[in-house]
Amino acid sequence: MTHSRPVAEDRPLALVERHAPAWSPRTARARFRKGLTGPTAGVAAGHTQANLISVPADWAYDMLLFCTRNPQPCPVLDVTDAGSWTTVLADGADLRTDLPRYRVWRDGELVEEPTDVRAHWRDDLVTFLIGCSFTFEWALSSAGVPIRHVEQGRNVPMYVTTRQCRPAGRLHGPMVVSMRPVPPAHLSAAIHETSLLPAVHGGPVHCGDPSALGVADLDRPDFGDPVDAGPDDIPVFWACGVTPQAAVMASRPPFALTHAPGQMFLTDARDEQYRVV
Q: What is the pLDDT of residues 21-32, one digit of tens each?
A: 889 999 999 999
- If we measure between CA atoms, which residue out of 236, 213, 215, 222 comes closest to residue 148? 236
The whole-number pLDDT of residue 8 equals: 41
- Residue 233's identity, in one-letter code, is D
Report the length, in residues, of the chain.
277
The whole-number pLDDT of residue 117 equals: 98
d(CA 48, CA 219): 28
Buried-state track 78-110, b at ≥16 Cβ within 10 A, e below 16: bbbeeeebbbebbeebebbbbbbbbbbbeebeb
Burial class (CB in 10 A: 0-12, 13-18, 19+), 250: middle
pLDDT digits (tens, 9 = 90+) for 32-80: 999 999 999 889 988 999 999 999 999 999 999 999 999 999 999 999 9
Mean pLDDT of the region 247-261: 97
pLDDT digits (tens, 9 = 90+) for 216-247: 999 999 999 999 999 999 999 999 999 999 99
d(CA 73, CA 111): 24
pLDDT digits (tens, 9 = 90+) for 75-99: 999 999 999 999 999 999 999 999 9
Average pLDDT, the chain: 93
Helix (H, G, I), strand (E, B) or coil at 159: strand
pLDDT digits (tens, 9 = 90+) for 150-188: 889 899 999 999 999 999 999 999 999 999 999 999 999
Q: Which domains does the chain have, with CATH numbers?
A: 13-134+250-274 (3.40.1640.10), 139-239 (3.30.2040.10)
Instruction: Inform me whether the pLDDT recorded for 6 exceeds 60.
Output: no
Better-scored residue on pLDDT, 256 or 22: 256
Mean pLDDT of the region 198-205: 95
Q: What are phi and psi of 47, to 5 degrees?
A: -115, 145
Give the DSSP letter of residue 156.
Answer: P
Tell me the three-class secondary structure of 40-105, residue by residue: CCCCCCCEEEEEEEEEEHHHHHHHHHHHHHCCCCCCEEEECCCCCCCECCECCCCCCCCCCCEEEE
The whole-number pLDDT of residue 124 equals: 98
End-to-end CA distance of the chain: 39
Instruction: Inform me whether the pLDDT recorded for 5 exceeds 80.
Output: no
Tell me the three-class secondary structure of 56-69, residue by residue: EHHHHHHHHHHHHH
pLDDT band at 12; cut points 50, 70, 90 = confident
The whole-number pLDDT of residue 16 equals: 66
